[in-house]
Structure 1
Amino acid sequence: MPVLHNRVSNDELRALMLAETEARVTLSFYKYFRIAHPQAFRDELYKVMTGLSVFGRVYIAAEGINAQVSVPQNRFAAFKSALYAADAALEGLRLNIALDDDGKSFWVLRMKVRERIVADGITDPTFDPSDVGHYLNAGQVNDMADDPQTLFVDMRNHYEYEVGHFEHAIEIPSDTFREQLPMAVEMLEKDKGKNIVMYCTGGIRCEKASAYMRHHGFANVYHVEGGIIEYARRAREQGLPLRFTGKNFVFDQRLGERITPDVIAHCHQCGASCDTHVNCLNQGCNLLFIQCPACAQRYRGCCSAACRDELALPPDERRARRAGRENGVKIFNKSRQRLSLTRPGDKPEETDGR
């Protein structure tokens, strides 16, 4: 049987993608449905997507599929037909087309079989993921945003909320979805009589979260159909005011797509107005954080003076320093002080970034 995974290096694949002249479309989709044999389903779909030069990240589990992919524009119709034909449950599936896209979002196809398509930590056998809240379209979302008896709840991670969110939305401060679910129940317990509108990037997390809230006795639970991506698209098409402010974080090379011109976040190093996420150029760190152009120049794309100085070392010395080092969470979280903030005029050496 042929090896059904990529065998070319990431650097080569990225160079090939950047050299492409053919337009691509970035999109995401998900579906909760029963897959009897996830590995076999994955292998068949892998062959189809490879044949169509699809790049991206696809997770498959017994509970369904979750994908973010880049498709050549002239093969989009063929991709759509092939996806719909893969299983009867996928016929007519909504595809969330990226809002701010240059087609350079992915350069390799990675398809993995997992226990869950979204890691939720739910072990209760009585939980029914199909008992979801009511869908809301863009117009209904705006109507609910004006209702004082309605609470908007952001089911994304803290670093996603930081750069953009719905007006007055409640943040569930955590690094993972599995942490958020019980936190949301606890934080909203006193508001069980209100309307609860849950949202996320493309709909997959808030759909399951709505079912979890209903499982815990919340009656008036709603979720934004298609998440932020579909909401913004439909609101623009219909000439509706956008009630989401800022940037929508996305999990690909772009790291964000602009919804409104507002910049509501700040550089994690100097505090300047900025909402550009980057990864520390020091591969031994790779921390995800927000960095303004001035700090990018000052720290040479690194999160700290320590990482900047380490990156300047000869490769052998750099590897020796990194050996056995534990980096921990590779996402900046103010509450955990993973990155010391610096201000204009501070000495770079005073920032250790650890």
Structure 2
Amino acid sequence: MAVLHNRISQEELKRRLMEETEPRTTISFYQYFFIEDPQAFRDQLYVHLNALKVFGRIYVAQEGINAQISVPTPNFEAFRNYLYSIEPLNGLRLNIAVDDDGKSFWVLKIKVRDKIVADGIEDPAFDMRNKGRYVDAVTFNQLTDDPNTIVVDMRNHYEYEVGHFERAIEVPSDTFREQLPMAVDMLQEDKDKNIIMYCTGGIRCEKASAYLLHKGFRNVFHLEGGIIQYANKAKELGLPNKFKGKNFVFDNRLGERITEEIIARCHQCGEPADDHTNCANEGCHLLFIQCKKCAEKYEGCCSTECQEVTHLPLEEQKALRKGIIKDQNIFNKSRARLRPRINS
């Protein structure tokens, strides 16, 4: 019987990844389509992708698939051929990472979820088939030359902070499910204008475009392939790049450089910086922006208190964080300052 999950420790997997000499390509893709038996689909997918040495994070639900993966570059064609052999995925757009060292993932995880994007939508009349119109990089630039076009960033606040399109509106929230009703409220007076929504790879803005149409909006567009596809096409076609800064990504890289502008600041000293990191204190693990000087000064920690914890014996550190529930621990500059985070 085929093994349908990983049985090796995370530490060992990371070590093996760092020792790999074979190049890897980081890819993201998604597709909204009906899957009758998500668990069976998941298991079949795992067997084939594991055989191709694919690493990454994939969510499967009745509404479709959402994936961020890395594949050994020599296996790319075999991977694509397998994916395209699945009828609803035939010809699927694959977003190739812009700034990639191949060290984005070290294990393959495929999980069955209720939805491929947690959206909080419970209205049974909502229909993903009624979605906004795609715009490519060329059309995006043309439409956004019009000052009356509304550009809406459908990513989280910490993604927007390090990079976004010119004139893009931020919907300041921690989660996509919070953003959807917020976006509807914020855009009420612009219902008749051209509204272009974008996100990292397209999955969130596609659903957001359908949600706005469901709420009575008319001229709704979404950027095909998101920031990743736009950046690749802008470079390929020699277009003016209207994205400024870094594109946050949800893998080990935590970001890919799109343009050289640094539009964010270190959350500790305020100097220009756009490198996200997780606090080195495992009992905190706060996601925040830290410049190189502060990374050295605080040894990768968000505060001196956390820095002191990392100097304790390992068993004492484990005792301190026992019982701590770590959900989303993300620094939000609009809500809080960096502060001691030992047992909270």
Q: What TM-score do the two structures reach when normalised by structure 1? A: 0.95
The residue aligned with 2:289 is 290
Name structure 1 gaps, 5 residues minimum: 341-350
The residue aligned with 1:203 is 202
Residues 1:99 and 2:112 are matched in the alignment: no
The residue aligned with 1:280 is 279
The residue aligned with 1:67 is 67
Distance in 2, matches of 1:97 and 1:130, equals 26
Cα gap change, 1:267/1:80 in structure 2, threshold over 3 Å: closer, same or farther?
A: same
| Percentage of pairs with the same residue | 63
Residues 1:5 and 2:5 are matched in the alignment: yes
The residue aligned with 2:16 is 16
The residue aligned with 1:259 is 258
Shift of 1:138: 0.6
Distance in 2, matches of 1:352 and 1:209, equals 35
1:101 aligned partner, one-letter code: D
The residue aligned with 1:50 is 50
SS for the counterpart of 2:334 is helix
Shift of 1:352: 6.1
Shift of 1:3: 3.7
The residue aligned with 1:108 is 107
Residues 1:143 and 2:132 are matched in the alignment: no
1:11 aligned partner, one-letter code: E
The residue aligned with 1:88 is 87
The residue aligned with 2:180 is 181
CA contact (8 A) 1:305 1:352 kept: no
Q: Deviations over 1:67-92 (max 9, x none)?
A: 0010011110000001111x211000
Shift of 1:2: 4.1
Shift of 1:245: 0.5
SS for the counterpart of 1:275 is coil
Provide runs of 4+ in structure 1 moved above 4 Å.
351-354
The residue aligned with 2:319 is 320
The residue aligned with 2:128 is 129
2:123 aligned partner, one-letter code: D
Name structure 2 gaps, 5 residues minimum: none
The residue aligned with 1:218 is 217
CA contact (8 A) 2:283 2:320 kept: no
Distance in 2, matches of 1:66 and 1:329, equals 20
Residues 1:117 and 2:105 are matched in the alignment: no
- Count of residues in correspondence between the two structures: 343
CA contact (8 A) 2:132 2:221 kept: yes
CA RMSD of aligned residues (A): 1.2
CA contact (8 A) 2:331 2:338 kept: yes
Distance in 2, matches of 1:58 and 1:317, equals 35
Cα gap change, 1:272/1:254 in structure 2, threshold over 3 Å: closer, same or farther?
A: same
Q: Deviations over 1:116-160 (max 9, x none)?
A: 000001000000111111111111111111112101000000000
Greater shift, 330-339 or 253-262, is seen at 330-339
The residue aligned with 1:37 is 37
CA contact (8 A) 1:154 1:165 kept: yes
Distance in 2, matches of 1:40 and 1:185, equals 37
2:42 aligned partner, one-letter code: R
Distance in 1, matches of 2:228 and 2:30, equals 13
Cα gap change, 1:142/1:28 in structure 2, threshold over 3 Å: closer, same or farther?
A: same
CA contact (8 A) 1:145 1:243 kept: no
Shift of 1:329: 3.3
SS for the counterpart of 2:187 is helix
Distance in 1, matches of 2:324 and 2:206, equals 38
CA contact (8 A) 2:284 2:341 kept: no
CA contact (8 A) 1:35 1:62 kept: yes
Shift of 1:191: 0.9
SS for the counterpart of 2:142 is helix
Distance in 1, matches of 2:92 and 2:126, equals 24
